[in-house]
């Protein structure tokens, strides 16, 4: 039987702050973003996954939303080096993961299953060449960083 590993998405507070400062700096100087640059929106934060193993196959998502809301997870290409370059829209990967909860009872988060599975498989492919991967988490409709617990489980080859 193959071993499984569950990786939790972790907030990268420092990188989120750097990206917020970029937006603030542009606003203060009344400058526009670079052509194709992707600025961090107020409802977004940067999260990361750290891969201890590279040979992975996607198994499943575990997303818990403590209250009704919507979480969109956007993966960022392995080509982005946050300490050297601004984030460009061409570095955002598709499909995205969209998870939501509409009921106030303790119901599991829902998702577009085919997109979520394809998204997980894409992350597993990128894990083969990266030790760290970054993601934009967009919180909407009552969802907030404090109300989200998110992980992805892989089968270790």
Q: Tell me the domain boundaries of the chain.
A: 3-156
Does 88 have pLDDT greater than 80? yes
- Average pLDDT taken over every residue of the chain: 91
Q: How confident is the model at residue 157 (pLDDT cuts 50, 70, 90)?
A: confident
Burial 59-90 (b: 16+ CB within 10 A, else e): bebebebeebbbbbbbbbebebebeeeebbee
**Phi and psi for 6 in degrees, rounded to 5?**
-105, 125
**Phi and psi for 137 in degrees, rounded to 5?**
-105, 120
Q: Which CATH superfamily is domain 3-156 in?
A: Olfactory marker (2.60.120.390)
**For the residues 107-134, what does the mean pLDDT come to?**
92
Q: What is the dihedral of CA 91, 92, 94, 95, to 10 degrees?
A: 160
User: pTM for the full model?
Assistant: 0.92
For 1, 86, 119, the CA distances from 111, given in Å and listed in that order, are 28, 30, 12
- pLDDT value at residue 45: 97
**For the residues 107-133, what does the mean pLDDT come to?**
92
pLDDT tens-digit readout, 51-74: 998 899 999 999 999 999 999 999
pLDDT tens-digit readout, 28-38: 999 998 899 89
Which residues touch 42 (CB under 8 Å, ≥6 apart)?
Answer: none
Share of the chain above pLDDT 90, in %: 72
Q: Which of 11, 151, 135 is nearest to 82 (CA)?
A: 135
**For the residues 134-141, what does the mean pLDDT come to?**
96
Q: Which of 131, 123, 135 is nearest to 46 (CA)?
A: 135
């Amino acid at each position: 039987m193959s071993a499984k590993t569950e990786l939790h998405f972790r907030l990268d507070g420092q990188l989120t702050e750097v990206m917020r400062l970029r937006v603030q700096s542009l606003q203060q100087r009344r400058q526009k973003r670079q052509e194709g640059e992707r600025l961090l929106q107020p409802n977004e934060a940067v999260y990361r996954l750290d891969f201890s193993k590279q040979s992975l196959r996607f198994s499943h998502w575990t997303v818990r939303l403590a209250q009704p809301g919507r979480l969109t997870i956007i993966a960022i290409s392995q080509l982005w080096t946050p300490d050297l370059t601004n984030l460009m829209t061409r570095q955002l990967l598709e499909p995205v993961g969209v998870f939501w909860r509409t009921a106030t009872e303790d119901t599991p988060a829902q998702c577009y299953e085919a997109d979520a599975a394809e998204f997980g498989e894409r992350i597993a492919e990128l894990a083969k060449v990266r030790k760290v991967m970054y993601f934009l988490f967009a919180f909407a409709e009552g969802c907030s960083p404090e109300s989200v617990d998110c992980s992805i489980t892989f089968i270790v080859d």
